[in-house]
Amino acid sequence: MEKFCQSCGMPLSPANQGREQDGTKSTQYCQLCYIDGQWTEPKWSKNGNYFGH
Ligand SMILES: [Zn+2]
């Protein structure tokens, strides 16, 4: 079953999955959005909504 990054919508593969702080793969976000348990480049609007990438 194909999964998609919940932030940017790009298809997730083992090669581009994000990583949690403990080193496990994230099943929800790609490594461009989320790596080592942190957002790579958070973008928040003035009213607090997350824009993604
Ligand atoms: Zn992403």
In this structure, is residue 53 part of a structural domain? no
The answer to whether residue 43 scores a pLDDT higher than 70 is: no
Cα–ligand 1 centroid distance for 38 (angstroms): 12
State the Cα–Cα distance between residues 32 and 10, nearest whole angstrom: 10
Residue type, 17: Q
Going by pLDDT thresholds of 50, 70 and 90, the confidence category of residue 51 is: low
The answer to the question of residue 47 being in a domain is: no
Residue 2 scores a pLDDT above 90: no
CA of 11 to the centre of ligand 1 (A): 8
Evaluate whether residue 51 is within a structural domain: no
Q: What is the mean pLDDT of residues 30-53?
A: 74
How many separate domains does the chain show?
Answer: 1
Domain extent at residue 7: 3-39
Compute the distance from residue 27 Cα to the ligand 1 centre, in Å: 11
How much is the pTM?
Answer: 0.70
The verdict on residue 34 lying in a domain is yes
Residue 4 makes CB contacts below 8 A (sequence gap 6+) with 10, 11, 12
Between the CA of 28 and the centroid of ligand 1 the distance, in Å, is 9
Average pLDDT, the chain: 84
Query: How is residue 8 written in tokens?
Result: 């940017």
Q: How far is the CA of 3 from the centre of ligand 1 (A)?
A: 11
**42, pLDDT greater than 70:** no
